[in-house]
Structure 1
Amino acid sequence: MDKQKTQRELRVVVMGAGMAGILAGIKLREAGFSSVVIYEKAARVGGTWRENTYPGLTCDVPSHAYTYSFEPNPEWSRFLPPGAEVQAYFEHTVAKYGIADLIRFNEEIVGCEYLDGRWHLTMKSGLRDTADIVIAATGVLHHPKLPELKGLASFEGKSFHSSRWDHSVPLDGQRVGVIGNGSTGVQIVSALAGRAAKVSHFQRTAQWIFPVENLHFSDEQKAAFRSDTQLLRDLRNEPTYLSNVERFTNAVLDPESPEIKEIEAIALGHLERSVPDTALRNKLLPDYRIACKRLIYSPDYYKAIQHPDAALVTDGIECVEARGIRTRDGKLHELDLLVLATGFKADQFMRPMNVQGRDGVKLNDVWAKRPRAYLAVAIPQFPNFYMLNGPTGPVGNFSLIDIAEQQWQYVSQLIELVRSGEYREVEATQQALDEYDVARIAAAKKTVFGSGCNSWYLDAEGVPATWPWSQQRFREAMTAPNMDHYTLRA
């Protein structure tokens, strides 16, 4: 019988129109799925690149690597692209591949329940939908994490989280305080030093800063990119970049590896060359292994923090007062603007929506100890429900677009088992998840992520919530599902 005639007409719902949701929409349409909808809680696509618009926002992955494999971009302006260009790239991709009609904007999913063999979804607006397949592409960094600071509400100046930047607030000539010194805090300080009257960077823990030159692509280079598509594809798979990713990935597997020591030596040399003042240099020197926290790439932070109108504050914060921040040494740092660059709740994923699987099992209960998913993709008791960039997937200083594409290769094969009519439900087994988790946790504890620092990579028990093996092993795992690890119901 003609395979096309035996295919089931499936309704597929994608959660989120960020990087991974856009990918899913494009791939589903290419595969001929005719009933697809992407529910997006906001008014635009882009995910974290839509949410974040702060001064200095820059992607820390090389621009030509931070693209879909099927959509190279000759127009990147720099080696590390500005956030606005990344957002524009996703908007361009949606338009070019004609998937805007799949997206329902301003529709936040609040409930997703599996009943009678289908997923029943409820939106905040009251809209309801049903689906045979659900793809959770909600991302990781979208629920702001606010610090618990005594007196924060009493501050009389302007205050906001870095992902909720208020562009109506003036910056020139203002006294700005920045709390948080991950990539976001570093980029904001670098952008405002010399522009604001005073920038005070409140540092709880020093960060390793890796040197990078953020060079502009010339008009001649961009012309060459436009005329030679293969050149762009080669840039995405450029051997130096790929070898650096492999080197970095292998380095984090062993905190005592030669690779991690080499990376640390480069960063330490960068600090020593860039900051001549011994006291300041000591404040900027981390006391943990490099890459234990997400490594920061910056061409100018050390220069910025040494600007006459910038200050690194390492005394702990006692409280926030009406006029600014008082540190534990008793000093009041007077401020006009307080920026909370304090990151995101990285363990939420699709929550707080109420997701219930087979027999009413609640995702919040399944994830009470830690977010879990078999190979970061599938959850037992949640049939035909798959995640892109879900818990325990690879994280680090490399392109999550590449990770999502590899995961889609895997997920699409599971979906086809249902589409073919061969099976009604495809669900990861509990045994497969448990065995994966035991092995993953044991390996994760031995990585540099578990070597003694506090980071957003750690779960509530201090275990790195990451893929703890090589990139090559991940690629091999994503090539094809091991069907012995799935329950298949006809």
Structure 2
Amino acid sequence: MTAMAATENGKKLRYAVIGAGMAGILAGIRLKERGETDFVIFEKGDGLGGTWRDNHYPGLTCDVPAHAYTYSFAPNPEWSAFYATGPEIRGYFNGVAEQYGVVPHIRYNSEVVGCVYDDATHQWEVTIVDGSKHVVDVVIAASGVLHHPKYPDIAGLDSFEGTCLHSARWDDSVETAGKRVGVIGCGSTGIQIVTALSGHSERVVHFQRSPQWIMPVPYFEYSDEDRQAFRDDVQKIDDIRYGDDYWSGIRRFTKAVTDVDGPEMKEIEAVVLRNLEDSIRDPELREKLRPNYRAACKRLIYSWSYYDAVQHPSVFVETGGIERVEPNGVRMKDGSFHELDILVLATGFHADRFIRPATVTGRAGASLDDAWSRRPTAYLAVSIPGFPNFFMLNGPTGPVGNFSLIDIAERQWGYVDQLIDQLRSGTHRAVEPSQAAMDDYEARRIDAAKRTIFGSGCTSWYLDAEGVPASWPWSYEAFSEAMDAPKLEDYLLHA
């Protein structure tokens, strides 16, 4: 590690940040702002950007308005459209990391395979895949959620003789024009890929185990004049990022999630139902696309063009069960067969792994795998009893939904930074939540989560192994208030 840097309080600390995605870059920037220089961002990939590095499939677009999907301190006047594409977003993160001097702190191809806490020194030993070890005072786990691809358990999948690829492992050399393409999966990714390939590929078969409710949203490109106006007056960007159009939607959505029979949820259900009824002309197709669960039980799909794309003559929606994959296509349970050249697995990620498969051993030999044997969880989504000086950004039980996770990470950092102040002051050498605080939080969270729309009776990646929504179950305002300042009485402070 590099020489230790003194903070404004005089205490010298060393940091390991795990992951160079959105949250890891944020952590690096905020540490530098505090005058910290002795930190390393360990990144398992060969570049930064996290999910925006791993994903580059056709049609990749963020469903959060571009000007809202930016760091609060780094507005971007150059977005090409109201919703930004994946390559643009990755370029944004690269630019911000360069601008704020974070890049020299990143170690690429450096997957963290283990973290061990030393009870005597109150330090962590972080082991990298190459066998090197780094001793630090604080670990910031910014590994994210969606980075371990999930492959479907379908008989014969390995027998397919065409091109088969997961959406998060897209091969840009694959030519889709004029080909017969099957897309398995109906989340945002599957919707975006089918939309991009409609009218481009000879035939697109969209295999849907359960169709999605589609929330219609506006889409428009920014003109050169628009971008110049954003450059000349940052207030125009702030009016979008902090304006009522965006935040009233966030408040309405989170209210609907937590009050499932309230007027906000009824409004959302009415909008998505009207979108289906008014957009799909063919009655048979309309019924294929009609979900049998409530809106927002799964993560809502925001799209301005899927219903148009799915009615293109080249697209076929298949809602029957898959029997098996054969060398040249997919056989359905009713005996029908779809001959394919390319099979795309838009089947998501293992959302319960977070920092794992790295092994994390905390105080008194505590194992993170044991702590998470029932479900991944963290106190207020940022810290875990038995794992001092170990903090997470966008960790388990954090808010999820149709809003910017950058805002979530920034609020979490403000909270974590105040906990680290306990170490910077020199008064304490370690901080962790008490088991009592964790147990109380988790009991209240589980009870509330079961009563959210996420627990209303559908399958989704929001649910843990026991079917409990693995998310923050209260309002966005409640989360913001919780992140304002730690309640130190809920923490163990080790001298």
Common fold, TM-score beyond 0.5? yes
Question: Is 1:76 matched up with 2:79?
Answer: yes
Alignment partner of 2:273: what SS? helix
CA distance, structure 2, for counterparts of residue 310 and residue 206 of structure 1: 15
Choose which of 152, 158, 165 in structure 2 pairs with 1:160: 165
Choose which of 423, 426, 430 in structure 1 pairs with 2:431: 426
Find the counterpart in structure 2 of residue 63 from structure 1. 66
Does structure 2 retain, via aligned residues, the 8 Å contact 1:255–1:289?
Answer: no
Q: How far off is 1:264 after superposition? A: 1.1
CA distance, structure 2, for counterparts of residue 111 and residue 89 of structure 1: 31
CA distance, structure 1, for counterparts of residue 284 and residue 129 of structure 2: 53
Find the counterpart in structure 2 of residue 223 from structure 1. 228
Question: Is 1:50 matched up with 2:53?
Answer: yes
Choose which of 241, 264, 282 in structure 1 pairs with 2:269: 264
CA distance, structure 2, for counterparts of residue 5 and residue 479 of structure 1: 21
Question: Could you say what the CA RMSD is over the residues aligned between the two structures, in angstroms?
Answer: 1.0
Find the counterpart in structure 2 of residue 19 from structure 1. 22
Q: How far off is 1:255 after superposition? A: 1.7
Q: How far off is 1:7 after superposition? A: 2.1
Q: Deviations over 1:428-462 (max 9, x none)?
A: 10010100000000000110000000000000000
Identical pairs, percent:
59
Does structure 2 retain, via aligned residues, the 8 Å contact 1:193–1:307?
Answer: yes
Q: How far off is 1:472 after superposition? A: 0.6
Choose which of 393, 400, 406 in structure 2 pairs with 1:388: 393
TM-score (norm 2): 0.98
Q: How far off is 1:4 after superposition? A: 6.3
CA distance, structure 1, for counterparts of residue 158 and residue 366 of structure 2: 38
Does structure 2 retain, via aligned residues, the 8 Å contact 1:179–1:341?
Answer: yes
Q: How far off is 1:104 after superposition? A: 0.5
Q: How far off is 1:213 after superposition? A: 2.2
CA distance, structure 1, for counterparts of residue 40 and residue 213 of structure 2: 42
Find the counterpart in structure 1 of residue 492 from structure 2. 487
Does structure 1 retain, via aligned residues, the 8 Å contact 2:44–2:109?
Answer: yes
CA distance, structure 2, for counterparts of residue 78 and residue 231 of structure 1: 15
Find the counterpart in structure 2 of residue 253 from structure 1. 258
CA distance, structure 1, for counterparts of residue 129 and residue 494 of structure 2: 32
CA distance, structure 2, for counterparts of residue 437 and residue 102 of structure 1: 35
Q: Deviations over 1:118-151 (max 9, x none)?
A: 1001111111101100000000000000000100
Question: Is 1:452 matched up with 2:427?
Answer: no
Find the counterpart in structure 1 of residue 242 from structure 2. 237
* Correspondence 1:168-247 to 2 at 5 A: 168-247=173-252
CA distance, structure 2, for counterparts of residue 225 and residue 166 of structure 1: 35
Q: More displaced, 313-322 or 3-12? A: 3-12
Does structure 2 retain, via aligned residues, the 8 Å contact 1:69–1:233?
Answer: no
Find the counterpart in structure 1 of residue 124 from structure 2. 119
Unaligned runs of 5+ in 1: none
Does structure 1 retain, via aligned residues, the 8 Å contact 2:8–2:34?
Answer: no
CA distance, structure 1, for counterparts of residue 34 and residue 234 of structure 2: 24
Does structure 2 retain, via aligned residues, the 8 Å contact 1:179–1:339?
Answer: yes
* Correspondence 1:430-445 to 2 at 5 A: 430-445=435-450
Q: Deviations over 1:392-412 (max 9, x none)?
A: 000000000000000000000
TM-score (norm 1): 0.99
Q: More displaced, 110-119 or 408-417? A: 110-119
Q: How far off is 1:239 after superposition? A: 1.0
Q: More displaced, 288-297 or 111-120? A: 111-120
Does structure 2 retain, via aligned residues, the 8 Å contact 1:17–1:46?
Answer: yes
**Structure 2 counterpart of 1:27, one-letter code:** R
Find the counterpart in structure 1 of residue 3 from structure 2. none
Choose which of 417, 424, 428 in structure 1 pairs with 2:422: 417
Structure 1 runs of 4+ aligned residues shifted over 3 Å read 3-6
Unaligned runs of 5+ in 2: 1-5
Q: How far off is 1:234 after superposition? A: 2.5
Q: How many residue pairs end up in the alignment?
A: 488
CA distance, structure 2, for counterparts of residue 268 and residue 359 of structure 1: 54
CA distance, structure 1, for counterparts of residue 400 and residue 124 of structure 2: 29
Alignment partner of 1:106: what SS? coil
CA distance, structure 1, for counterparts of residue 288 and residue 205 of structure 2: 14
* Correspondence 1:276-315 to 2 at 5 A: 276-315=281-320
CA distance, structure 1, for counterparts of residue 237 and residue 9 of structure 2: 40
Question: Is 1:402 matched up with 2:402?
Answer: no
CA distance, structure 1, for counterparts of residue 456 and residue 237 of structure 2: 38
Question: Is 1:41 matched up with 2:44?
Answer: yes
